Structure 1
């Protein structure tokens, strides 16, 4: 299975490179399909520009139904610190660490095609990510190796911006090498669907639904989120309400703890600080 996964990931990367080299489209590119490189619970089609360094501080809290006893979920915070960098205008990479299951994650994104005026109608990005769980005393001794603690995902992110509206679909394959709850490996397919409307120059409203196919028995509702993004130039603020507190693919796809219809709703926010390592005037 390990060799099959490696072959699949290499094949996907090769396909991305081939398509990217084949597309030679004219027209003025549409900049910033969304407010940020992340939208709700997932990656967006956008990348940091060359030389841009993003410091991402993400918080997800417990259910607001706990009231004052849990300070409306603030006592149950999950935190992720992340660093994203634009290697070129078409290639970016990032790394992060989440307090949930003490997990490290990394990703790389590559622009395959850009939406352009009088040109190609869609923006397409390829994304590969991996995560590594370092939580102690959770894996049986015979399965407690680095490979079994890892999970991977591969996806195409397809989006279009039309006026104030942006839509995105992100077909995704996810693999967890060893799932402790089912005591086996886990392979999932998901289709994150995202919509955003620009309310003003600085504000946008977003909603996202992530249907997860062939879910295991322990998985519950599909993730559903609504939120507001605010861009002040050097900072980006993202506020959201969701039934999921995940900060990386494994948590988002397999650990939905809330339920909208039961009032089990979780609050979260992302704070993004942008640093420029390249003169933007050049």
Structure 2
């Protein structure tokens, strides 16, 4: 009789432990603590019914050194303020305003796959936005901006001419507690561009972080606009956007993430960086910047 009791206890313990291990093996892996890493989107989407406030700021170039406090007092700063909301699990909707070109943007991000401790080695996320160039119409009437490679008459710009689009697929993997890496591919389109620019740009993106403390990480981001003859409308690549390189540090709490970094692109919206960045990180093109995110749960 005692033997049967011991066998029954062992069976119950075995089933309990196996269920516990199975649950542990299937746990989701969260790679980032913020939806934005420097100025790149990440796979992170907060819980449903969460509101996120985003502040992104870039100073001027450090090329003048201490005369303008390494760009902090320099002209050419840029700032973006945004709100993101998660109405349902894995779907985030957002809107923002940006100083450069007075952009207004509307965006959405959706997580298709979630990395887990077993069975799913990566996360897959898609992101897209639409931006509206909000400058006065006189900014488009100088003859320097054209549509479909034809001259634009003064003050003849239509609302659709102001639109630009960016779409991206992001694959993320947290290799260990200290190291996370993500890679992505993107497509950028502007309805109207300058004569010496393409309407379309395809790009590659890499970003990641290396944790050095429970709340601190070294972070980096690299964006590469590709030169593809098949979609180019140009005779040369003189105005082709330069690659963007950024690196810095991040500190986070349960509701905040603060990132300070140095990077090349003056633009904050991804399509602006992929189309217009002419700063060269090898030639004093770097500038300081910071990103702050704050979330509220309802």
Q: Same fold (TM over 0.5)?
A: yes
Gaps of 5+ in 1: 1-25, 278-282
Instruction: Give the distance between the partners of 1:250 and 1:172, measured in 2 at CA.
Output: 9
Aligned mate of 1:73, from 47, 67, 71: 71
Alignment of 1:113-262 (within 5 A): 113-136=113-136, 137-140=138-141, 142=153, 144-163=157-176, 164-180=178-194, 182=196, 186-214=199-227, 217-262=238-283
- Aligned residue pairs total 250
Gaps of 5+ in 2: 1-24, 142-151, 229-236
Measure how far apart 1:220 and its partner are: 4.3
Backbone CA RMSD of aligned residues: 1.8
Q: What is the TM-score of this pair, normalised by structure 2?
A: 0.79
Instruction: Specify the alignment match of 1:28 in structure 2.
Output: 27
Name segments (4+ residues, structure 1) moved above 4 Å. Answer: none
Instruction: Give the distance between the partners of 1:94 and 1:60, measured in 2 at CA.
Output: 21
Shift of the 276–233 alpha-carbon distance from structure 1 to 2, 3 Å rule, reads: same
Report if the CA contact (8 A) 2:181-2:208 is conserved: yes
Report if the CA contact (8 A) 2:241-2:274 is conserved: no
Measure how far apart 1:227 and its partner are: 1.3
- 1:13-60 CA-partner distances (Å, limit 9, x unpaired): xxxxxxxxxxxxx821112x1221111221111112211111111110
Measure how far apart 1:181 and its partner are: 5.0
Report if the CA contact (8 A) 2:95-2:104 is conserved: yes
Aligned to 2:282, what secondary structure does the other structure show? helix
- 1:205-229 CA-partner distances (Å, limit 9, x unpaired): 1112111113753134210111111
Report if the CA contact (8 A) 2:57-2:78 is conserved: yes
Instruction: Specify the alignment match of 2:47 in structure 1.
Output: 49
Instruction: Specify the alignment match of 1:271 in structure 2.
Output: 292
Larger Rg: 2
Instruction: Give the distance between the partners of 1:155 and 1:272, measured in 2 at CA.
Output: 21
Q: What is the TM-score of this pair, normalised by structure 1?
A: 0.83
